[in-house]
Each structure stands twice: as structure tokens, then as C-alpha cells.
Structure 1
Amino acid sequence: MPRSSGAKLWSTLNKAATRNARRMQRAVNKTLTKPMTEAIVRNAVKQSAAVTAATQRALTGVVSPVKAPESRGSGRWEEGAWGAGPLAPRRYHIFVPAGATASHRAPMLVLLHGCGQDAASFAAVTRAAAVARESGWVVLLPEQSSQANAQRCWNWFRPTAQGAAEAGLLMALIDQAIRRHPVAVDRVSVLGLSAGGAMALMMGLRYPERFAAVGSHSGAVPWSATNAAQATRAMRGQRGPDAQAMHAMRLGLAGRRPPPLLLLHGDSDGLVDFSNATATAAMWMHLQPEGAHPLTGVPARRIQRGMRRAVDVFDWTASKWPYLRLVRIEGLGHAWSGGAGGHAFSDPAGPDGLKMALRFFLAAGG
């Protein structure tokens, strides 16, 4: 039976509608669906890359990683690696101010970062370039490797083996920096935070003739531990320096005083108790050579500038020159005093730790 005109019309309209629907779907695919799908894929790739990058950063042992420091004013940043053997290589960053030349050699500060940091993050926390540019110091920032310590801690609690090797590597890097840059060889000081502070003190006692001054910010007493368990107790203030190590250090000093010492420590530090600072000061006093003129205590001073945290400053002098300074920072936890905001182990409310250190090092002959 032949189709009616109505049936033919319906069939024609259906075919036309189907063709139009296909054309519309192709247009939708071209103008909307495909771009959206591609955007979703790109976003997923970016998210995956971000997750991967975050995972990679976490595996580096750095809590708040930053890019390598860049020169934004006068002076220049350089970076490199040094060392040989099973603990090498170690990377470093060094800032050289514009005024440092072969005919005008600058003092150098070696800055040792703490656990969970690297050279770049520590440079950002301390504002190393800005302070060094203003003061005219060369600043050397060695970097602990995650292979030597998963948390990037300097191994101050392994003083007889790995700690000694790391101290030797650091000394070799310092010698390299002196050879390559306009550094005054007799004006080198070392300062560190936390594990870096304990290592800085070890450096000062292992190589007393090489440093004009040393300093520790929130660091433990050196030679108070030989393993991680003992280190935890030492950080809580439950262990002091080993008696045999003290005797060996006295022999190693060979009648010299240890280098002038700066101790910066918060009285609210829950990780490394403030008693570590007082115990380190007592250690330095105990290591004074027999027959030397006794240290002279200076009345304590309380200082507060603006809304910054207040500090109590305790000074001892040797022959009228500043020799030992203990700075107790009120309300400061385990963080760099006056550090840049937005970083781990940094307290912007404190007075500037790096500026305090440079003032003491200059006054003490650094």
C-alpha cells in the first residue's frame, strides 16, 4: 500500500531533523564539548603535575621550598657544588656584595640552615642578600643533602664520625670560597639555626683559629649526643657536653680561648629548650684557658623596639672586648627571630636575628 502524503512528509521531516541534529552535534562538539574536554584534560595534567611537584618537594626534606635566590640589586648570587667521597656532593649559594673587591676584601658569614631547610629557603628566611648588601658582608650558605640526612639536618649528634666528616667538608668549602672570592681570611664567622647552630659551634671548637666568631640560634649543646635518642634528650635540656669530649677540646684549644660566641634563643622554644643556650655559655666559660684573665660580666640589658619581641641581653667581655653574648628572646618559639613571613621556622615578630649577629661579630672583631 502506497504511503500517504502525510506519511511521506513525516518521513522527510524526520530525515531533515536527523541531519540537522547531526550538524548541530558536530557544531556543539567543535565549539563547546571539545574545548571543554581539552580544558579538563589540561587541568587534570596540571593538577597531576602539581601533585607530583608537591610530592617531589616533600621528598626533598624542605618544609617550605623556594626558588634559588636571584640578584635583584647590587651584588650577585652564585651557586655550585663541592666535596668528594661518600658524603658528597654538597651544594651551596654565596652572595658577594658589590663593594667586595681584591683590594677591599669583605668579612664573610657562613650561614648553616636547620632541619627541614635548604640553602635557598634559609636565604629567604634570613633575608641574607638584603642584610649582606647593606652591611657589605659576603654570605656563604652551604646545603646539607637529603642523602646525608633525610631531614637535611647537619649531623651534629654524630660528632666523632659523620659530624667530623661534615665539619671537614664545610671547612673545605670555606677555603674554596676564600680562594675564589674577595674574602678577608681573618674575618670569617659562622652562624647556624637549630642543627645548623650546633654544627656552627662544633666548627668553632674544631677549628678555633679559623673563625673570628661563632654563633648559634636555637641550637643544642655541642658534643651532648652521639645518636638520635641522645640528641632528643639533649634538646630537651636533659644532657650536657660529654666530659671526655670537653677534655679533648681543651687539649685541642692548646691554651687558646674558643672563638667569641653569640647565642640567640627563644624562651618559648618547645623543640630545643632554652637551657641549651645557658649550658653552651657555661661550656664556653669552662673552656677558658688556665691562667687567662677572667671574663667580666656586664649588667643585663632589656631591649624592646616598637612592637618587636623584647630581648634580654647578657654580655661577658674579655679584655674589654665583647666575647660572649646570650640573647633571650621573649615569647619566641623554634624559629628564626625576625625572619621573613610565609616560611617555616620563621618569626617576623622578633628582632632581626641576622642584624643582631653581624653587630656582635663586628664588635667582637669579626
Structure 2
Amino acid sequence: MPRSPGAKLWSTLNKTASRHARQMQRAVNKNLTKPVTEAIVRNAVKQSAAVTAATQRALSGVVSPVAAPQSRGSGRWEEGAWGAPLAPRRYHVFVPAGATASRRAPMLVLLHGCGQDAASFAAVTRAAAVARESGWVVLLPEQSSQANAQRCWNWFRPAAQGAMEAGLLMTLIDQACRRYPVAADRVSVLGLSAGGAMALMLGLRYPSRFAAVGSHSGAVPWSASNAAQAARAMRGQRGPDAKTMQALRFGLAGRRPPPLLLMHGDADHVVDFSNATATAGMWMHLQPEGTPPLAGAPARRIQRGVRRAIDVFDWYEGSSPYLRLVRVEGLGHAWSGGAGGHAFSDPAGPDGLKLALRFFLAVGV
């Protein structure tokens, strides 16, 4: 039966409407739905990446994670592990080009602070560049997140976990002296914050093994035996008691503690500057009985360009510097002169690693 003109018109209108609907849907998909969907997906990916990165930081205990250091230019980076097979600790080591078995180099052990690992601390301190220039081997042990969730060296548990970690570190140092071209009698140790306190613990536990020790923004060693006491010690409200000092003196067995470098910002609100002066006093108190007192030199104020000014206080053993305290004006809880873009790093200060090597060379390392 032939369709009526009205039916034909209705069919034509339906086809036209369907065609227009399909065109509109394609236009919507092209101009609105697809871009919006893509934007949602991109935003979700970004959020997921941010959450993943934050989760990785939280799980790793590292605030500003970086890739493992790579060998560029002269010298080489190596990495490895040491310690118990079921709970190994990792390390990175930089060996300058000129160091050989017949021409052994001094070695600096660098201990990172809380919220850092060996790679991030190498980046903050520019360890490779300074070591390449000076010809030192640089060893960077790494605290595990299993031993401390924030990767702090456990300086505030000196009788148990701290003592065990000090022993582990000495095992690594011995291993490095055998494996790399290191002059074993020219080993120094320097640390930041918790790493600084652990460096001083090493110096007092093994005084014959270190040519010099140093602490940057660290607390007084043996000033706490738990986390609550550590918080008070970091505020400058607690120090080693008389019994502890007697035990330390006994352990030194008439030997001087190693030469000491202290660097600290006067605007540090995490570890108060008073920790530096208290540590200097501790070192003076631990001098062997019957030896001449250390001779203090006039303070020196130094400022180069627009970098932060420093006040340098020296005490001499005879004609050689033995104890140096460097107060960095306006520096908070951060590595002085460190690389930009990293946590616990202040590029405005003088280069902390170069200051340290200058002192270590001055004391005969």
C-alpha cells in the first residue's frame, strides 16, 4: 500500500533529525566530551602520580628523593651493601681518578640526617664535585627505614641500638679501607643532624680510628637515651650526666678525642645552636688529665659576597687547630651552601663540605 504524503514527510523528518542528532553527538564528543574526559583522565593520572610519589616518600623516609648518583667526568661512583645478610645496609662511594693502590687518598665518611638517604645527601653536599676537586674518597653509608622509619641514625639510644649502628659503620669503614685506595690513617667522619651526633659517637667510641670528626647541626652525643629525652636535648635542655662523662673518659683511656669541627646555624629551631657550644665544652672536658688546656684564638668573622656570614672560633693544641666552631648567621636546620631544590639544604650559606675539608687538612688529615 503506497505511503501517504504525510507519512513520507514524517519519515524524511525522522531521517533528518537522526542525521542531525548523530552530527551533534559527534560534535559534542569532539568538542566537549572527549576533551573533558581527557582532562579528567589527565588530572586523575597527575593525582595518582602525586599520591604515589607521596606514598613512596612516606614509605622510604626520604623527603627529597633523587636517583642514585652517576659517574660523570673524572672519578667514579660505586654502590654496595654491608651488614647482616637478612638486613643489609646500602652505601655509595665516590673514588677520585687520582686514587690508586700506590697513591692512597684520605677518606671522608658522610652520614646523612633524618629524612635523607645516601643519594639525596650526596646531591645536597655536592659530594662528587668537592671530592673530585680535593682528591678525597667519599663514603656515604645509608640508614635503613627498618632501623628507623625516618632514616635517622639512632644516636639517642647510645647503649643499645646506637652502639650496634656504630659497630656496623666501623665494619663498613674497614671494608672500604680494604676495597678502595684509602689511606686508613686519614679517615674522617662528618654528619648532618642525627648523622652529626652519630659521627661524634664514632669519634668517642673509636678515637684511634679517626683523624678528625665533625657535626653539622647535630645534638650533643650521649645526651639522650630515648626519643622523649632526644627532643629535650635538641632544644638544649639536656646533656650527658656525670656518670656518662666518667664512662666516656674511661673509654678514651687517656687519649685525646679526635680533632673536632662543629658547624651550626644560629637560626636552627630543630636542633638549638646551644648544642654546638655544649659539644665543644664536652670535648674540652674530655681532654686527658694533666695536659695543657686548649688555647683559644680570637673569633673571626668571615663573609664572602652575598653568602651568609660566619663566626669562626678556634682552640689550639700547641700550634695546630684542634677544635673549631663555625656559627652560620641566619642558617636554619639545613646544610650550609647545599644544592638548591632539596630539603635540609640552604644554598645561601658558605659551602659546608669545603669548610670541613679545609679544617681536616689544617689538623693534618
Q: Secondary structure at the match of 1:77?
A: strand
Report the CA distance between 1:36 and its aligned residue.
Answer: 6.9
1:92 alignment partner in structure 2: 91
2:263 alignment partner in structure 1: 264
1:188 alignment partner in structure 2: 187
What is the number of equivalent residue pairs in this alignment?
Answer: 365
Report the CA distance between 1:304 and its aligned residue.
Answer: 1.0
Q: Secondary structure at the match of 1:222?
A: coil
CA RMSD of aligned residues (A): 2.3
2:67 alignment partner in structure 1: 67
| Mean CA deviation greater in 9-18 or 195-204 | 9-18
Map 1:139-288 to 2 at 5 A. 139-288=138-287
TM-score, normalised on structure 1? 0.93
Q: Distance in 2 between matches of 1:353 and 1:42?
A: 42
Report the CA distance between 1:4 and its aligned residue.
Answer: 2.7
Q: Deviations over 1:206-259 (max 9, x none)?
A: 000110000001111111111111111111111121222221221221221110
Map 1:35-74 to 2 at 5 A. 37=37, 40-41=40-41, 44-45=44-45, 47-74=47-74
Amino acid at match of 1:154: W
Q: Distance in 2 between matches of 1:32 and 1:239?
A: 65
Q: Secondary structure at the match of 1:299?
A: coil
Report the CA distance between 1:308 and its aligned residue.
Answer: 1.1
Q: Flag the 1:270–1:20 CA change in 2: closer, same or farther, 3 A.
A: closer
1:361 alignment partner in structure 2: 360
Q: Distance in 2 between matches of 1:188 and 1:41?
A: 54
Provide structure 1 residue ranges, at least 5 long, that are not aligned to the other structure: none
Q: Distance in 2 between matches of 1:231 and 1:28?
A: 63
Q: Secondary structure at the match of 2:141?
A: strand
| Mean CA deviation greater in 150-159 or 21-30 | 21-30
Q: Flag the 1:288–1:176 CA change in 2: closer, same or farther, 3 A.
A: same
Moved over 2 A (4+): 1-7, 12-47, 291-294
Q: Distance in 2 between matches of 1:164 and 1:93?
A: 22
TM-score, normalised on structure 2? 0.93
Q: Distance in 1 between matches of 2:344 and 2:15?
A: 72
Report the CA distance between 1:21 and its aligned residue.
Answer: 4.8
Report the CA distance between 1:296 and its aligned residue.
Answer: 1.7
Q: Deviations over 1:15-40 (max 9, x none)?
A: 36535754875798699966874675
Amino acid at match of 2:330: G
Provide structure 2 residue ranges, at least 5 long, that are not aligned to the other structure: none
| Mean CA deviation greater in 220-229 or 244-253 | 244-253
Q: Secondary structure at the match of 2:299?
A: strand
The share of aligned pairs that are identical, in percent, is 87
Q: Flag the 1:273–1:40 CA change in 2: closer, same or farther, 3 A.
A: closer
Q: Distance in 1 between matches of 2:268 and 2:27?
A: 65
Q: Distance in 1 between matches of 2:341 and 2:42?
A: 30
